[in-house]
Amino acid sequence: MDEDMLRCVTEQGFAARTLPLPLYVRAHAEVLVPAADAGERLDLRAADIPLLDVAVAADRRGALRQLVERAAVLRILRSGRGSLHDPRDSGGDARDGSPPAVGAGDSHDEAVARAIYRELARRRAESGIEKGTLITGRDQADGPEGVALRGVDGRIDCYLLGETAGVPAVGAVLRLDRLERPLCAVVCDLWERRGVERAVQAVLREFVVTTLPRREDADRVPFPYGDFHDVVAVGETDFETLAPLPPRDETGELRDRLRLHGHRASVRVLAPEDRTALVACRLEPTAKAEPSTESDPSAESGPAKRPTTDTEDDWRPRDVAALGLRAPRQLSLTYERDDVRIGRVYHENSKMRTAYGTLPVVDIAEMSPPARRLLGQAYRDFGHARRQYPMRPAGEPRLLTLDQVVRRRRSWAAMGDGELTRAELAHLLTLSYGTTGAAVAGQDLRLPLRATPSAGGLYSSDLFVLVDRVTGVEPGLYYFHPGKRLLQLVDDERTLAEVAEYTGYRERAGEAAAMVVYVGAFRRNQWKYRERGYRTVLLDCGHLAQSVVTTATSLGLVAHPMIAFVDDYFNAYVGVDGVEDAVLYLTLLGPRRTGDEAA
């Protein structure tokens, strides 16, 4: 589980954060950050977050696995012990001054194999790479396991680079015209197909690192893979010819090849046995001491003897930035995954599928006449209201041009303290949501058309208007009947000032002369669109709100859309249950302050 990997990162004194990638990078990225930056938080200061390391893989679990390994390497480096062995026991640093290779996995054997592969890849890169066999027939667009770049001016070439200690090496070279130089990565793996996948992930990791902002005082980190972008292709091999499956006994095969080439694996366990397996590993020559199965964890499917696990005191991290990178600004404006889990479930359930029968097939011609007529009655009717006002203005309104409307529209434009005219409100409502025509559907049905688009012509939004200062209209909450073009009284017991208390901008709402309340009628279209119907209701509401804003601006008014309101209060005020029908949006309306013609 991802939680196991995350726990292994945090127990080492670090934290993991998801790194948003450009859409042309088809992969998942996680970054290693200090423990103090563990929390996904809304940081309006956009404070710098130091990135200690970056991992790129096909999925989140693969990236977290890499972070577990890199966190362990940082612990070793920060402890001042480059050696695999405790200095108190062995009395020194590693022979070559480099930290041991680290591997993490679901099992001890898997962790040891990953560590050995990493150490072999380091040796292969350091030995110099001049030639290789080009791997052809691999889809450059998708790459193995969907990890690659798409839609970019460049390519990723993969090569077989011979063997190290009998284990195949695979290299990847990323060539992009806008890069200063090509990027390279090399991995070792007994299963060459997996090696190609890991090499692509590794070179994409190098690419992601080059795109991140760097601290001005940070030193450039040495390129870990050497520079073999000018490798000479001495032949070609088709990707499909590589072994389709890994070795049946990968651990045994790896053990045999190491022994054949005079190597043994010296392993140290870095995590408790009940956690994600995590080990540090060095390869040592067998000439000095032939390993036994008891002391060589790579010699059996499971080690017979394991060293003592390190304690937290041994590995207390210090504030050192490994890469000198800092997070892109949007990483601090983030959230916990659980905060949006329900929304993501909804989005998944509301997707249109290619499978047959995901939505009911609707044929208007096969409907009964009463059912067809219902489609044309997408409105409510408060016909018994004690007050009704016709919204059929005489004459044509004086409207700004579209160019003027677009340039002038501002939500926070200053409102005057005067009134709206009844004619202005009538023009606003009829031009944004009134009936503007009719369409023939079948031989006996004329469906009304409106100025605003709607999914399936079902018009799942209703307009209510809370009037405060409109000449010729008494204050109160009204429903706009789009067919009859009437304002019908719904409630006149609450003032706009009282209602404004239940918005997120009380003072701003109090400046308005009227407030438009948008109500989504889910039942009106979910019979046709099912789960996707919720999407279409929101889209319908957005179309309608834009029509109101555009029309209001063309009339010289101020229209301020607002989503900051208490749902339950507004649902109860309008008289809907918040389930079958719900208030979705508000727009404040007011006259533009005299002399305020600036954008």
Pair of tokens at residue 304 = 């017979």
Please tell me the distance from the alpha carbon of residue 487 to that of residue 478, in angstroms, as a whole number: 6
Residue listed under structure tokens 């003072």 = 507
Please tell me the distance from the alpha carbon of residue 334 to that of residue 19, in angstroms, as a whole number: 10
Q: What is the CA radius of gyration of the chain?
A: 33
CA distances from 327 to 69, 215, 221, 300, 305 (A): 20, 10, 17, 42, 42
- Cα four-point dihedral sign 246, 249, 255, 256: negative
Element of type H or E holding 285 = strand 277-285
pLDDT of the residue at 290: 44
- Cβ-proximal residues to 138 (8 Å cutoff; 6+ apart), any chain: 144, 158, 196, 239
pTM of the model: 0.73
Please tell me the distance from the alpha carbon of residue 186 to that of residue 166, in angstroms, as a whole number: 15
CA distances from 548 to 223, 396, 587, 598 (A): 57, 18, 8, 21
Please tell me the distance from the alpha carbon of residue 497 to that of residue 105, in angstroms, as a whole number: 62
Residues in the chain, pLDDT under 70:
1, 40-46, 80-98, 139-147, 216-226, 287-322, 354-358, 365, 441-444, 596-599
By C-alpha distance, which of 196, 212, 206, 197 is closest to 226?
206
Can you give the three-state secondary structure of 142-211, one letter per residue?
Answer: CCHHHCEECCCCEEEEEEEEEEECCEEEEEEEEEECCCCCCEEEEEECCCHHHHHHHHHHHHHHHHHHHH
Contact 434, 449 (CB under 8 A): no
Element of type H or E holding 10 = helix 2-10
Q: Is 145 left (phi over 0), alpha (psi -120 to 50) or beta?
A: left
Contact 464, 490 (CB under 8 A): yes
Strand-pair partners of 214:
325
Contact 421, 391 (CB under 8 A): no
pLDDT of the residue at 358: 67
164, amino acid identity: T
571, amino acid identity: N
pLDDT of the residue at 41: 65
E strands present in 434-475: 435-440, 446-450, 461-467
Burial call 122-147: b when 16+ CB within 10 Å, e when fewer: bebbeeebeebbebeebeeeebbbeb
Distance in angstroms between the alpha carbons of the first and the last residue of the chain:
53
Q: Is 133 left (phi over 0), alpha (psi -120 to 50) or beta?
A: beta
Dihedral, CA of residue 84, residue 88, residue 91 and residue 95, to nearest 10? 10
Write out pLDDT tens, residues 57-113.
Answer: 999 999 999 999 999 998 888 776 554 444 333 333 344 556 789 999 999 999 999
Question: Tell me, what DSSP letter sits at residue 485?
Answer: T
Q: Is 117 left (phi over 0), alpha (psi -120 to 50) or beta?
A: alpha
Contact 74, 317 (CB under 8 A): yes
Please tell me the distance from the alpha carbon of residue 384 to that of residue 364, in angstroms, as a whole number: 32
Question: Tell me, what DSSP letter sits at residue 487?
Answer: E
Please tell me the distance from the alpha carbon of residue 88 to that of residue 90, in angstroms, as a whole number: 6
Pair of tokens at residue 422 = 């009844």
State the pairing for strand pair 154-164/167-176: antiparallel
Please tell me the distance from the alpha carbon of residue 14 to that of residue 33, in angstroms, as a whole number: 6
CA distances from 11 to 14, 266, 278, 306, 506 (A): 7, 24, 12, 20, 46
Q: How many residues does the chain have?
A: 599
Please tell me the distance from the alpha carbon of residue 183 to that of residue 203, in angstroms, as a whole number: 6
In this structure, what are the phi and psi dihedrals at residue 515, rounded to the nearest 5 degrees? -135, 125
Pair of tokens at residue 49 = 């977050």
In this structure, what are the phi and psi dihedrals at residue 41, rounded to the nearest 5 degrees? -140, 160
